[in-house]
Structure 1
Amino acid sequence: MIHFNIDQWRAWAPGLDSADDWVRWSRSPWQPPAGDEQPDVGFLPAMQRRRLSRLARMAFHVAWPLAEGQPPLPLVFASRHGETPRTFAILGELARGEPLSPTQFSLSVHNAIIGLWSILRGDTSEMTAIAAEGDGLEHAVLEAAALLAEGAPAVLLVIAEEQPPAAYADWVDDVPFPYAVGLRLTAGRDWQLSCSSGAATESSAAWPHALDFILTLLRDAAQCQHQWKTRVWNWQRNP
């Protein structure tokens, strides 16, 4: 069991950005519209913005305000599928016998986003990129808790997923729309997270778990539970 505080959070999905947007969504959740909407990253120089995929833009959009005015902070980035659209484009170039772009390849790897974050913020704090299964949020919290236990004053946690290309539809069914969630975690006992074992089951959640957790926050729920395969994660808000 681990304990921590959630000092601040942000989230983004198409049509959902401000705190008021998410409050309205929490009252009666709906499926955001499909499209090419991009989150605003106007705080970055134009030349740097052009290099960012939508996944990277989502991560920067939710994390940047959480880092403003703070000392250098460790960052934990979690994504199950990562830069799937960029990787798919590279595979297409290979299939057509076209030369590959070194820049595109370097930005397709799973830790590219934390590398860009470190460069653009000039932050050399410890940073981790993880590719977990459907309980990536929980594994990211475990990683963040370990950093807090080592003395970090706070840890940024970002979980983001981009909608994969249609060619992956038969294999990737857990990203109904692109989204990102950012949390700034600090040491404390407001929340506790524990894991137990249960019978294997298929996930039947209406929304990605990171957004289900945003619902928990916005509805001031005392607890929530998330099961992935045989792992049963229990979130408890302490009074």
Structure 2
Amino acid sequence: MSNLSFKVLNWDFFSPNMNKEYILNNLNENLNISYGDATPDLDFIPRAQRRRFSQITKYVFESVKNLIKENEQIPIFFVSKYGEINQQYNMSKKIVTEHEVSPALFSYSVFNTAIGQLTIFYKNNARALSITCYENFLDAIILQATSFLNNSSDYNKALLIIADEKLPQSYEEISKDKNYSFAFSFIISADKNESDINIEIIDGEDKKDENSIIDFIKFISTNQTNLKLGKIELNKIKNIK
């Protein structure tokens, strides 16, 4: 049993063939996250900066642009399976073929590039945490963020991001798993006076993939009262005052 609870204040989603509006218009359908390429406009970011962004970083910026503002000090929790896998692949390939790599390429290949760029662009000096996770993404990020907020006197809300990008073709050929291209961002509050979702730790054996995010969106967007994930179960709290 857990005494953790939270409320989703806002959220956004981006993938090659799916966004927030599409999901909300098809809540009764069996939706799956897309696998492919797409390039958000990101006109609000200087061209010289965004041209160096990887797919995952562009997706992350697209998914948070309507959620946070410049100078807003909000903790960020980021979960990804592969992170900057394409940048890492390109860097490794250059080392093998050219025996050297530019510092600029290296700086954009680290796992937490996306949230690092977010904090710089939005001038956000709050805590930023990156987690690598192969499954049960929602379990990991919700527990991390709510536990942090529950023990923080400085912050009452947090930005949570789950994202991945299309694998390099060479990796696609040997990968046994599906790889989804997407970014899901949502802001939560852990204020006990307004929380409407309770977290219960369960001894589950299920290993939820990225499509559990769609189940979560349906849960927070409809009258559904319960959602069982891999290691946690979410229950809506009745009679919120």
TM range (shorter): 0.7 to 0.9
Give the number of aligned pairs.
230
* CA displacement at 1:10 relative to structure 2: 0.6
Match of 1:12 among 5, 14, 17: 14
Instruction: Give the TM-score taking structure 2 as reference length.
Output: 0.85
Instruction: Give the TM-score taking structure 1 as reference length.
Output: 0.86
Instruction: Return structure 1 stretches of 4+ with deviation > 6 angstroms.
Output: none
The CA deviation string for residues 4-57 of structure 1, in whole angstroms up to 9 with x for no partner, is 11011111111222x331123433235566543112322211111112111011
Partners of 2:39 and 2:13 in 1: CA distance: 13
Indicate how the Cα distance of structure 1 residues 9 and 70 shifts in structure 2: closer, same or farther if over 3 A, else same.
farther
Comparing 6-15 with 69-78, which one deviates more in the overlay?
Answer: 69-78
Is this contact kept in 2: 1:174–1:208, CA < 8 A? no
Give the superposed CA RMSD: 2.3
Amino acid at match of 2:15: A
Match of 1:190 among 162, 186, 196: 196
The CA deviation string for residues 133-182 of structure 1, in whole angstroms up to 9 with x for no partner, is 3012221112211332203121111110112123333445142x311111
Amino acid at match of 1:12: F
Is this contact kept in 2: 1:55–1:161, CA < 8 A? yes
Indicate how the Cα distance of structure 1 residues 69 and 87 shifts in structure 2: closer, same or farther if over 3 A, else same.
closer
* CA displacement at 1:112 relative to structure 2: 1.7
Indicate how the Cα distance of structure 1 residues 34 and 181 shifts in structure 2: closer, same or farther if over 3 A, else same.
closer
Is this contact kept in 2: 1:158–1:183, CA < 8 A? yes
Aligned to 1:140: 141
Within 5 Å, give how 1:87-236 maps onto structure 2: 87-149=88-150, 150-151=152-153, 152-169=155-172, 170-171=174-175, 173-175=177-179, 177-188=180-191, 189-198=195-204, 200=205, 203=207, 208-227=211-230, 232-236=231-235
Amino acid at match of 2:156: P
Identity of counterpart residues, as a percentage?
22
Amino acid at match of 1:173: D
Structure 1: runs of 5+ lacking an equivalent: none
Partners of 2:48 and 2:70 in 1: CA distance: 24
Aligned to 1:84: 85
Q: Which has the higher strand share?
A: 1
